[in-house]
Chain A
Amino acid sequence: MKFLKTVATAALTVGALMAGHAQATTLDQVEKAGVLKVGMLVDFPPFGLMGTSGKPEGYDADTAKALADYLGTKIEIVPVTGPNRIPYLLSGQVDVLVASLGITPERAKRVDFSRPYAGIEIMVYGKKDEKVSKPADLSGESVGVVRASTQDAGVTKVAPDDATIRRFDDDAGAVQALLSGQVPLIGVSNVVAAQIEKAAPGRFDEKFPLSSQVQGIAVEPGADKLLAKINAFVGSAMKDGTMDKISEQWLATDIPDFVRNGSVEEAATPKSATN
């Protein structure tokens, strides 16, 4: 089954590319059709996942629904995968991607991004009473990380020589070590940090960020009116608390500042450290 699905996906992707696509979807077309076709990942919790009811849900799904409401259209969610999401968009099979697409310089050449609506941040996170606010403060401390993860690389790069880095096989091990007090600090993403906050409210907080990646809603190049409308949506949703509510539900935290104040220009400028 899985193989068949892979073949089908491959065929669709190739077909989509070959069929070509003359023009970008315009705002008029979307409004006329009355349906916004949204490409979304369903294998990337908590951003995109298949709910128990068999319908896509998550941070991306809620954002997409709010976007459709804003545009006054219905919504059709099309499940896409990491590798085929941009081809789906460029071939016109979806109007927009709300698919946790990180804004990178390479991708910005192929699609147009809205301002950030979400973000993944890698940080050092730990016990509330630990006085750590910069890499140098890690001196003499032990920090748990997942072996060879981005956090491992990030912490190893900035930690002073006398910091002990404890490597675990997976997030569960590192988080367990933090929860049980075996390490006072760990390197995690904000997604995992949100889960920890849920399990142990108020015991831990962020110490300092290691790196971050913002995600934007993507449209085809040239769909300027649609993009302007989406930017207006993200702007108002950031202001009126809609995004905070979605973030609160799926990530257990308000929209962080690096997302709220982030811009496409900043994220799409080539720099050395991206995820």
Chain B
Amino acid sequence: MYHFNFTPVFENFDLLLYGAWLTIRLSFAAMILGLIVSVLGAAARTSHSKVLHAIVGAYVEIIRNTPFLVQIFFLYFGLPAIGISLDPNVAALIALVINVGAYGTEITRAGIESVPHGQIEAGRALGLGPIQIFRYVILKPALRNVYPAMTSQFIYLMLTSSVVSTISANDLASIGADLNAKTFASFEIYLVVTGIYLVLSLLFSGLFKLIQNAVFNYPASR
């Protein structure tokens, strides 16, 4: 019979919380920046410029078709060869933004393409400028349409951030690995770490729900 021993977990609970805090900050910053990249990328992909199309298309395809682990290794271990040396936490953030930006671009593009053309023409008829049309007539309904897909991508981003422990960032997964290596209470530690990730996911889900209620508080068009 296995005897559970949660002492190492409780003794180091402040460390785990510290790791969770980095995971939260990292994920939150990556979500905000990733959303900006997604909107800009989707705007470029739905624009009429062939050059922008090609550039953003290449970005999306390269990022979506390579493993995140390899991307983060490239940023952290590869870039110093050309003189760009990043702190592990900064490298982790950039890698997460680049990664979620590529997926987000495609999700946002799908949203933009779901906006009926008549709606855009209606905006023009009302005398709105191109930027106003993009912001109010295209982007907001577009984001509303893809909101569930976008938020689940963001939750996935938070879970993916556990990979950054490989470049020595001190996130929750990394602290868990440290404790495990020191105390060998694998079951207890990873049970608690899993629990913390679950709580974080649920908190982010709740937050997204609140944002949805506040931002998209008008009746759906369809």
Real binding pair? yes
Please tell me if the beta carbons of A176 and B77 are within 8 angstroms of each other in the complex.
yes
A168 to B72, CA, bound (A): 14
Taking CB atoms, residues of chain B closer than 8 Å to A148 are: 178, 181-182
Q: Is there a chain B Cβ closer than 8 Å to A65's Cβ? A: no
* Contact partner, B88, options A147, A166, A169, A181, Cβ 8 Å: A166
Segment of B52-60, B78-86, B96-104 in the binding face: B78-86
Q: Does B204 contact A (CB under 8 A)?
A: no
Nearest chain A CB to B189's CB is how many angstroms away?
13
**B178 in contact with A182 (CB, 8 Å):** no
Whether A147 lies near B177 (C-beta < 8 A) is yes
Count CB-based A-B contacts (< 8 Å).
39
Cβ B168 vs Cβ A166 within 8 A: yes
Q: Mark B179-191, 1 if CB is under 8 A from A, else 0.
A: 0011000000000
Contact at A167–B178, with CB atoms within 8 Å? yes
Chain B residues closer than 8 Å to A167, beta-carbon distance: 168, 174, 178
- Within B163-179, which residues are at the interface with A (CB < 8 Å)? 165-168, 174, 177-178
Within 8 Å of chain B (Cβ to Cβ): is A144?
yes
- Specify the chain A residue showing the minimal Cβ separation from B177: A147
Known: A166-B88, A166-B168, A177-B168. A147 touches B181 (CB 8 A): yes
A165-204: contact bitstring with B at CB < 8 Å (1 yes, 0 no)?
0111100010011001110000000000000000000000
A55 CA / B85 CA spacing, docked (Å): 44
Q: Which residues of A contact B77 (CB under 8 A)?
A: 176-177, 180, 182
Instruction: Knowing A176-B77, A180-B80, say if A168 contacts B182 (CB, 8 Å).
Output: no
- B165's nearest neighbour on chain A, judged by CB, is A169
Q: Contacts A147-B178, A148-B178, A148-B182; is A168 near B168 (CB within 8 Å)?
A: yes
Q: In the complex, how many angstroms separate the beta carbon of B110 from the nearest chain A beta carbon?
A: 37
Q: Please tell me if the beta carbons of B166 and A182 are within 8 angstroms of each other in the complex.
A: no
Min distance, Cβ A134 to any Cβ of chain B, angstroms = 24
A-chain residues with CB within 8 Å of residue B178 when the two chains form the complex: 147-148, 167
List of A residues within 8 angstroms of B76 by Cβ: 177, 180, 182
How far is A147 from B167 in the complex, measured between Cα atoms in Å?
12
Which residues on B sit within 8 Å (CB–CB) of A176?
77
- The count of chain B contact residues (Cβ–Cβ below 8 Å) is 16
- Chain B residues, Cβ within 8 Å of A177: 76-77, 167-168
B176 vs chain A, min Cβ distance (A)? 11
Q: Nearest Cβ in chain B — how far from A130, in angstroms?
A: 15
Residues of B within 8 A of A166 (CB): 88, 168
In the complex, what residues of A have CB within 8 A of residue B78's CB?
Answer: 180
Q: How many angstroms from the CA of A195 to the CA of B128 in the assembled complex?
A: 66
Closest to B182 in A: A148
A147-B178, A148-B178 given; A169·B80 CB < 8 A: no
- Give the CA-CA distance A144 to B169 in the complex, in Å: 12
Residues 133-175 of chain A, each 1 if its beta carbon lies under 8 Å from chain B, else 0: 0000000000010011000000000000000001111000100
CA distance A166 to B88 in the complex (A): 9
Determine if B166 and A169 form an interchain contact, defined as CB atoms under 8 angstroms apart.
yes
Question: Judging by beta carbons under 8 Å apart, are B177 and A181 in contact?
Answer: no
Residues on A with C-beta less than 8 A from B168 are 144, 166-168, 173, 177
Output the residue of A144, A169, A176, A182 with the most chain B CB within 10 A.
Answer: A182
- By a CB distance below 8 angstroms, the chain B residues around A169 are 165-166, 177
| Nearest-Cβ distance from residue A169 to partner chain B, whole angstroms | 6
Closest residue to A145 on the B side, CB-wise?
B168
Q: How far is the CA of A177 from the CA of B87 in the complex (A)?
A: 11
When C-beta atoms are compared, the residue in chain A nearest to B166 turns out to be A169
State which of A144, A168, A173, A180 has its C-beta within 8 Å of the C-beta of B81. Answer: A180
Considering the complex, give the chain B residue whose CB is closest to the CB of A176: B77
| B interface residues with partner A (beta carbon < 8 Å) | 76-78, 80-81, 85, 88, 165-168, 174, 177-178, 181-182
Q: List 24 A-B contacts (CB under 8 A).
A: A144-B168, A147-B177, A147-B178, A147-B181, A148-B181, A148-B182, A166-B88, A166-B168, A167-B174, A167-B178, A168-B166, A168-B167, A169-B166, A169-B177, A173-B167, A176-B77, A177-B76, A177-B167, A180-B77, A180-B78, A180-B80, A180-B81, A182-B85, A182-B88
Known contacts A147-B181, A167-B178, then 14 further A-B pairs from the complex at CB < 8 Å, ordered by chain A residue: A147-B178, A166-B88, A167-B168, A168-B167, A168-B168, A173-B168, A177-B77, A180-B77, A180-B78, A180-B80, A181-B80, A181-B85, A182-B85, A182-B88
